[in-house]
Amino acid sequence: MCLAIPGKVVRWIDSDPLLGVAEVEFGGVTRRCLMACVPEASEGDYVVVHAGVAIAIVDAEEAARVLAELASLPEKVEWLERDEEETQ
Amino acid sequence: MKFLDEYRDPVAARRLLAEIRRAARRPWTLMEVCGGQTHSLLRHGIDVELAGVVDLIHGPGCPVCVSPLESIDFARELSLREGVLLASFGDMLRVPGSRGSLLEARAVGGRVKPVYSPMDAVDLARRNPDLQVVFFAVGFETTTPTTALAVRQAKALGLRNFSLLVAHVRVLPAMEALVESADCRVQGFLAAGHVCAVTGCKEYAPFVERYRLPVVVTGFEPVDLLQGILQCVRLLESGRPEVVNCYRRTARDAGNPTAQRLVGEVFEVCDRPWRGLGMIPRGGLKLRPEFQQFDAEVRFCGATVPAIEDHECHSGAVLAGRIKPKACPSFGTSCTPDRPLGAPMVSSEGACAAYYRYAGANHLSG
Amino acid sequence: MKREELSNSCPNPSTFDDGRISLAHGEGGRLMRRLLSERILPALADVAPAGDADAAILARLAGQVVFTTDSYVVSPLFFPGGDIGKLAVIGTTNDLAVSGARPLWLSLSLIIEEGFELTLLDRVLRSVADAAREIGISIVTGDTKVVPRGAADGLFINTAGVGVLLEPRWPGPGELQCGDELVVTGTIGQHGTAVMIAREQFVVEPCPISDCASLVPAVDALRRAEVPVVALRDATRGGVSAVLREWAAKCGWTLAVDEREVPVTPEVRGMCELLGLDPLHVANEGTMVVAVREGFGGAAVEALSRVPVARQAAIMGQVQERRVSLVVVQRGLGRYLPLDEPLGAPLPRIC
């Protein structure tokens, strides 16, 4: 459920509490998204957008922390190059 | 794309896979609640990768799949009425009711339009004052803020030709119902990260307290999913039934209070039947009395006719995680995405459709 | 009273004064003749030398004749990067080109909905003429019908094309061998996303632009470079995945693609993430899949990248030993997984 994609807030267009809209960039395109649920988002922040509505601000520090944690996992791992059928 | 590509990194994914294999000293059975997670797991082959280590049971978290047959039938009936335009999300339009899907209704003259956002339906109402636009509102807590916003906008705009057929559901009561069922095998849950982005993680604490099962809030990309699985396995191995948030970049412990307030102003909790699971106490949301003018069931006197599910369809057992899709005798034979018997075979994130699409060839001929 | 004035009292509009096509324009009388002689033929003058021939007598050809037909019902009629007129010429001539033929002649049938705006018809005809001129083909015969309001969606076009088969002939997908390399001639998914955006009024900036373009120069480039091509196919409806599926069924091998090697523009990537679509399933109108013998993928890419329509050509996969799945894709975790087949046209989804 709930296809939601992070995009970068490029520009606030309207800061109305109900109808607030900002331009949000996803890959190579920008689209106007409703910002009523993330009124505190600043330009440059990433927001997670579901069905045209930003529902959360991405916490960049948390993201960096988690990626750092990942990098600290053991480097050399056994990797089985199995194909789909072989596991049947 | 930032915050997406990093979480599809094969090197990180491989490290996590190895770590999970190391951490699991016995096989564990986990349920990913959300259908979006199911699709991601199968699309990237994570279920196959972890075969024998972690058994992943696919949960009921597909709003399109659990929308009751009666609501689909009513939506279909509305779409065929003179002067009514029925709008909903693309995947909802393909789900069969007892008299066919909404797309099939379009083929016999129904006015049906796929939209990306409930706000697009508001816009349709604004641009078509001669039509009654009904938005078939499905979705979990991730989607309810968007619908609430649409209602508030329609009210602010004074639209008299916009209404909602509400089939919103709440995920936690459904998890409770699953765990309460006698044959539940689930040992730990991967909770849906985008639901938690709205609701927060705290509401899982009483659940964990009561059922002594770990709940790990998990994202949707391969690395997110593997992190969630690893965390859940670690909790199980060390006998710690706790709530852990592995999707902190998006889901705060308190969720999104602004969104919660918005939803609370427009909707209230109600009992709701889930397709395949039956009546779930407190399992849904309905419009508050002060927004009743936007309720399509009130506006169009919805006399819902009880509908009967095809008896060959075992979607109830699939949605409850009791059987895997391929264990259903109809899977791939009398039930395919082209001729579905039940909703999980249709929706882009239904467990049956996911198996058919990503693993279908294996399971059919293997 | 003059004749013209007399006919003006008739309920059927006798001129183009209201700027729209009426049923009478298709009924074979003077109005129809005027529609042809004043609108359609002048617009196509330099690419339709024979005028309004009902049937064309064509020159003898030195090789085998290749014949194809296709109907165009795109909605909306105008989209970023093209319109139904351009599409009707490009689509049919591309079908000839990927069949190994040099496109020569085209028929053009218009089915127009009553009430269609003449200025729009003019625009479409201009696009037809421009595309035909660019490819160097002639429109040798045609037909115009007007149907009552509601019986068509503005304008439908059918074109049939004739070409001559060129030597050497390419073996075709049935002759694919294990190890053959799969090349895609450009960034994928542009046409499908551009049309979807225009149809659903899904506003994004910048809007992806349809790749609608002639593949004749790309096919020529492969011939000139004498690349050992096995099969060619434009990846239209159903996208790259539909071509691979069809080829795999014909040759009995498994076709394997590496998702990371398939070129996608940032616009299409963003759109597909937003709407939950897979670019491999999205339609193209100026991009083809080329299978070449093992070891010649690089040569194919080099030849292709010299022509503008295939500048972004890339090797995206290979023909492999038969697995359970006909088409498999490597998505990052390193494992080949079955590529799913979409049910129908992609619909935006939330879930």
**Quick one: three-class SS letters along chain B?**
CCCCHHHHCHHHHHHHHHHHHHHCCCCEEEEEEEHHHHHHHHHCCHHHHCCCCEEEEEEEECHHHHCCHHHHHHHHHHHCCCCEEEEEEHHHHHCCEECECHHHHHHCCCCEEEECCHHHHHHHHHHCCCCEEEEEEEECCCCHHHHHHHHHHHHHCCCCCEEEEEEEECHHHHHHHHHHCCCCCCCEEEEEHHHHHHHCCHHHHHHHHHHCCCEEEECCCHHHHHHHHHHHHHHHHCCCCCEEECCCCCCCCCCCHHHHHHHHHHEEEEEEEECCCEEEEEEEEEECHHHHHHEHHHHCCCCCCCCCCCCCCCHHHHHCCCCCHHHCCCECCCECCCCCCCHHHCCCCCHHHHHHHHHHHHHHHC
Does A70 contact B362 at a Cβ distance shorter than 8 Å?
A: no
A48 to chain B: which residues are within 8 Å by CB? 194, 197, 250
Domains of chain A, each with CATH number or no CATH:
4-78 (2.30.30.140)
Of B142, B149, B252, the CB nearest to A2: B142
Please report the pLDDT score of residue B359 as a whole number.
64
Does B1 contact A6 at a Cβ distance shorter than 8 Å?
A: yes
- For residue A62, the surrounding DSSP H or E stretch is helix A60-71
Residue scoring higher pLDDT (B361 or C143) = C143
- Nearest residue on chain B to A67, judged by CA atoms? B6
Rounded to the nearest angstrom, the minimum Cα separation between B256 and chain A is: 7
pLDDT over 70 (residue C350): no
Please report the pLDDT score of residue C13 as a whole number.
44
Kindly provide the b/e burial profile for residues B249-260, where b requires at least 16 CB atoms within 10 angstroms of the residue's own CB: bbbbeebbebbb
The type of residue at C186 is: G
Residue in this structure with the two tokens 């899907």, named with its chain if needed: B101
- For residue A34, the surrounding DSSP H or E stretch is strand A29-34
B contact chains, 3+ CB pairs < 8 A: A, C
Please report the pLDDT score of residue B229 as a whole number.
98
Give the least confident one: B280-289, C1-10, C274-283, C339-348. Answer: C1-10
For residue B183, count CB atoms less than 10 angstroms from its CB and return exposed for 0-12, middle for 13-18, buried for 19 or more. exposed
**For A30, what's the count of Cα atoms within 13 Å in the CB-facing half-sphere?**
14
Residue range C192-219, pLDDT digits in tens: 999 988 888 788 989 899 999 999 999 9
* C112, C145 Cβ separation under 8 angstroms: yes
Residue C350, chain A, CB below 8 Å: the answer is yes
Give the A window 49-88 contacts with C, CB below 8 Å: 49-51, 79, 81-85
Rounded to the nearest angstrom, the minimum Cα separation between C332 and chain B is: 5
**Cα distance between residue A30 and residue A25, in whole Å:** 4
Does A27 contact C337 at a Cβ distance shorter than 8 Å?
A: no
Q: ipTM, 2 decimals?
A: 0.90
Does C273 contact A79 at a Cβ distance shorter than 8 Å?
A: no
The list of chain A residues with pLDDT below 50 reads 1, 79-88
Residue range C107-126, pLDDT digits in tens: 999 999 999 999 999 999 99
* CATH number attached to the domain at B68-168+256-299: 3.40.50.11740
Residue range C175-197, pLDDT digits in tens: 999 999 999 999 999 999 999 88
Does B259 contact A6 at a Cβ distance shorter than 8 Å?
A: no
Average pLDDT over residues B70-81: 94
Residue scoring higher pLDDT (C216 or B96) = C216
Paired with A47 in beta bridges are A7, A57
B118 to chain A: which residues are within 8 Å by CB? 51-52
Residue range C288-303, pLDDT digits in tens: 999 999 999 999 999 9
Banded pLDDT at B332 (limits 50, 70, 90): confident
Residue range B26-63, pLDDT digits in tens: 999 999 999 889 989 988 999 989 999 999 998 888 88
Considering the four listed CATH numbers 3.90.1150.10, 3.40.50.11750, 3.10.20.90, 3.40.50.1370, the one that applies to the domain covering B5-62+171-245 is 3.40.50.11750
* C95, C70 Cβ separation under 8 angstroms: yes
Give the C window 326-345 contacts with B, CB below 8 Å: 326, 331-335, 337-338, 340-341, 343
* A46, A58 Cβ separation under 8 angstroms: yes
Q: Is the peptide bond before B63 cis (omega within 30 degrees of 0)?
A: no
Extents of the domains making up chain B: 5-62+171-245, 68-168+256-299
Kindly provide the b/e burial profile for residues B96-118, where b requires at least 16 CB atoms within 10 angstroms of the residue's own CB: bbeeebbbbbbeeebbbbbbbbb
Average pLDDT over residues B344-351: 75
Banded pLDDT at B196 (limits 50, 70, 90): very high
For an interface test with A, give the residue of B4, B6, B15, B348 to mutate (most A CBs within 10 A).
B15
**Cα distance between residue A28 and residue C265, in whole Å:** 7
Average pLDDT over residues C39-62: 89
Residue A86, chain B, CB below 8 Å: the answer is no
Banded pLDDT at C226 (limits 50, 70, 90): very high
Rounded to the nearest angstrom, the minimum Cα separation between B222 and chain C is: 9
Does B15 contact A18 at a Cβ distance shorter than 8 Å?
A: no
CATH 3.30.1330.10 maps onto chain C at 21-165
Does B91 contact C340 at a Cβ distance shorter than 8 Å?
A: no
Average pLDDT over residues C147-161: 96
Average pLDDT over residues C227-233: 97
Largest CA distance in chain B: 65
Does B145 contact A52 at a Cβ distance shorter than 8 Å?
A: no
Residue range B145-178, pLDDT digits in tens: 999 999 999 999 999 999 999 999 999 999 999 8
pLDDT over 90 (residue B188): yes
pLDDT over 90 (residue C230): yes
Q: Which CATH architecture has domain C21-165?
A: 2-Layer Sandwich (3.30)
Please report the pLDDT score of residue B362 as a whole number.
43
Please report the pLDDT score of residue B326 as a whole number.
86
Does C269 contact A85 at a Cβ distance shorter than 8 Å?
A: no
What is the value of pTM for the model shown? 0.90
pLDDT over 70 (residue B363): no
* B190, B32 Cβ separation under 8 angstroms: yes
| B68-168+256-299 and B5-62+171-245 share a CATH fold | yes
Average pLDDT over residues B130-149: 96
First to last CA, chain A: 28
Residue range B242-267, pLDDT digits in tens: 999 999 999 999 999 999 999 999 99
Please report the pLDDT score of residue C4 as a whole number.
40
Rounded to the nearest angstrom, the minimum Cα separation between B260 and chain A is: 9
**Cα distance between residue C343 and residue B339, in whole Å:** 10
pLDDT over 50 (residue B132): yes
Q: Name the CATH superfamily housing domain C173-338.
A: PurM-like C-terminal domain (3.90.650.10)
Which distant-in-sequence residues (6+ apart) come within 8 Å of B322 by Cβ? B181, B183
Nearest to B9 by CA among B192, B190, B224, B217: B224
**For A87, what's the count of Cα atoms within 13 Å in the CB-facing half-sphere?**
19
Please report the pLDDT score of residue A54 as a whole number.
97
* Number of helical H runs and strand E runs in chain A: 1, 5
CATH 3.90.650.10 maps onto chain C at 173-338
A contact chains, 3+ CB pairs < 8 A: B, C
